[in-house]
Amino acid sequence: MSKDRARPFSRKHRKYWIPVTGGMLLIGVMNVGIGFCAYESPPPPPEQIIPVLPPRTAPPPSTDGSIGLGAIPAVVMRAFNLAYPRHAPSAAKKLNGPDGTTVYEISFTSPATTVVYREDGTFVSQR
């Protein structure tokens, strides 16, 4: 038993496939038209956040009150140099004193050797 098939490009084939192909093209055109009508432009991109970072050569920020040696007031450095003329400070900390005043703790020779001065250059203690 042979199947009832239409040969390609025969009248029966054209009678079936031309309307089917035309219908598919019509559906495609309608989809594109609906897409154009329903299209909303995207919102503008969000503003880019640009972080401001310190340069790689910058020292890490201190969290324990450490300050640079250049940040020690001149009065305090003068008092330190008068008391210890043969020593150079190696580190310094700016702290709040027990009575609410600002004191400077200066380390020299080793981190364990420290001298504490008030902001006006008066001696407080030595450890």
Within 8 A by CB and 6+ apart from 93, the residues are 64, 65, 66, 67, 104, 105
Q: Which residues pair with 121 in a beta bridge?
A: none
Residue 61: which pLDDT band, with cuts at 50, 70 and 90?
low
Taking the C-alpha atoms of residue 123 and residue 58, their distance in angstroms, rounded to an integer, is: 32
Within 8 A by CB and 6+ apart from 110, the residues are none
Among left, alpha and beta (phi > 0; psi -120 to 50; other), residue 11 is alpha
Per-residue model confidence (pLDDT) at position 62: 64
pTM of the model: 0.50
